[in-house]
Structure 1
């Protein structure tokens, strides 16, 4: 079965500016590609994503094209830096825009995101990785995604330190191990849900 993974980088840095979040996202996507998954990604700040909770806020809103790529994929990777102990404001906006899914439950009681896997990934130079993961996972599960088993991938440097994930000579063993495990489980679960979708529950 052919699977597609799409990742959103919720960095505050535009264009091709060096990004630790991109480095983490790329590591996760590369691990997924190792299982034969087709991958792609985008930086949210390179698009005009308007505030709101609908599929399309109009007036040049570019969220619909990002949303379509999420919906076309079976695995969604949401990568964010830690800012003041929380996900970036960009990641929060992504969750807010995904809220529109709650108004699209079909007559069988199924969300359009049922059967899709979500993998959060976090980097930062301060404490809070587990807290940020908890916020992302709760939001993603609320809008219908399924999160695979295993510790989610993250890296945090020394508090108030000057070393970023992108500056490392290589991915630390523990981080690499968590990425391999979550990628394997994500692919396994995505395959299962494609062949055995969630049952209808009614509305």
Structure 2
């Protein structure tokens, strides 16, 4: 089982990522079930805006796209900014729009028979909105989004410390992360046994 994490933090990998730390709880659980995990820190990559898979010289999205097609599980991990997904999360979804017109050998959209989930962090509220926006878009692209295929952490209304600065709420977020991993892995196995057939 292969897993791709799109870390949509606005910080490059030279900085610590709260979003990655919570995503790591999910991926550790998946690795414990035998999965192989690849993480793309989108802030490190040159990903211009657009809705095509390959925009030519300098575009690094095709590297990400190749890993998406090789993976059975996708996790989109985003911080919350002004109650919304990060701009890089939106950029990834826009680039994934091209997958709607890409088909497999049976004529199905290439995202079919793959599962996806969402991880969200932020020191203000808005996580459910971010989850619904990202999960809805992934469903449109063709991914199967199982029930409770998400986890999040926030401090509630108003500014406050970051995920890495406090233990507040971690127990709930981590338990939810383990449930998320279980559901993603279980549904991915079910789809491998019995894929969605061509229409």
Q: TM-score normalized by structure 1? A: 0.92
Provide Cα deviations, 1:171-197, integer angstroms capped at 9, x if missing partner: 722111111111011111111111211
Unaligned 5+ segments in structure 2 are none
Q: Does 1:72 align with 2:70?
A: yes
Aligned length: 199
Aligned partner of 1:39 among 27, 32, 37: 37
In structure 2, how many angstroms separate the alpha carbons of the residues matched to 1:70 and 1:25?
17
Residue 104 of structure 1 and its aligned partner are, at CA, apart by 1.4
The aligned runs of 1:61-100 (5 Å cut-off) are 61-100=59-98
In structure 2, how many angstroms separate the alpha carbons of the residues matched to 1:147 and 1:71?
16
Provide Cα deviations, 1:6-64, integer angstroms capped at 9, x if missing partner: 10110000123011111111111111112111112121010000110001011210000
Going from structure 1 to structure 2, the CA distance change for 1:47 and 1:163 (only over 3 Å counts) comes to same
Q: Does 1:139 align with 2:132?
A: no
Please tell me the root mean square deviation across aligned C-alpha atoms, in Å.
1.6
The aligned runs of 1:21-170 (5 Å cut-off) are 21-105=19-103, 108-150=106-148, 152-169=150-167
In structure 2, how many angstroms separate the alpha carbons of the residues matched to 1:78 and 1:86?
14
Residue 108 of structure 1 and its aligned partner are, at CA, apart by 4.4
Residue 158 of structure 1 and its aligned partner are, at CA, apart by 4.1
Residue 167 of structure 1 and its aligned partner are, at CA, apart by 2.0
Runs of 4+ displaced beyond 4 Å: 106-109
8 Å CA contact 2:125, 2:158 repeated in 1: no
In structure 1, how many angstroms separate the alpha carbons of the residues matched to 2:52 and 2:37?
26
Q: TM-score normalized by structure 2? A: 0.94
